[in-house]
């Protein structure tokens, strides 16, 4: 399924699964936002912080289940199965890409 992912989103998935924080942070724009159930993180420092507490820092692994184009030309909803030491489950993650990087990642309560 990852072959259907736009390259910037694939970079987030691959970096997470490889446990590579530097590659994870580098996949985001300088002004990116991560919104995780209303908790917002901004820029590379925000991505690094969220990664430490909610992603690679808790040994997250992403399995891509589905990819659907969003309403905008650079928006996608990716259904991920997540396993980690903190969170486990399957749900949608909304991504926006810009200039070959992820500019927004949003996880909303189901």
Reported as a single tens digit per residue, the pLDDT across 52-106 is 999 999 999 999 999 999 999 899 999 999 999 999 999 999 999 999 999 999 9
The CB density around residue 38, as the number of other CB atoms within 10 Å, is: 8
- Region 3-21: mean pLDDT is 95
Query: Distance between CA atoms of 67 and 51, rounded to whole angstroms?
Result: 22
Reported as a single tens digit per residue, the pLDDT across 34-66 is 999 999 999 999 999 999 999 999 999 999 999
**pLDDT of amino acid 2:** 52
Task: For 82-96, give the DSSP string.
Answer: EE-SS--EEEEEEEE
Of the options 3.10.450.50, 3.40.630.10, 3.30.2270.10, 3.40.50.1000, the CATH number for the domain spanning 2-107: 3.10.450.50
Question: What is the sign, positive or negative, of the torsion defined by CA atoms of 67, 72, 75, 81?
Answer: negative
Closest to 61 in 3D by CA, of 18, 2, 95, 102:
18
The CB density around residue 19, as the number of other CB atoms within 10 Å, is: 14
């Amino acid at each position: 399924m990852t072959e259907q992912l736009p390259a910037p989103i694939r970079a987030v998935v691959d970096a997470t699964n490889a446990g590579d924080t530097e590659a994870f942070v580098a996949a985001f724009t300088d002004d990116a936002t991560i919104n995780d159930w209303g908790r917002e993180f901004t820029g590379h420092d925000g991505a690094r912080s969220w990664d430490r507490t909610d992603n690679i820092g808790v040994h997250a692994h992403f399995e891509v289940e589905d990819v659907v184009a969003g309403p905008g030309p650079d928006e996608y909803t990716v259904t991920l199965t997540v396993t980690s030491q903190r969170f486990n489950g399957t749900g949608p993650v909304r991504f926006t890409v810009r200039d070959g990087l992820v500019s927004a990642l949003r996880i909303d309560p189901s």
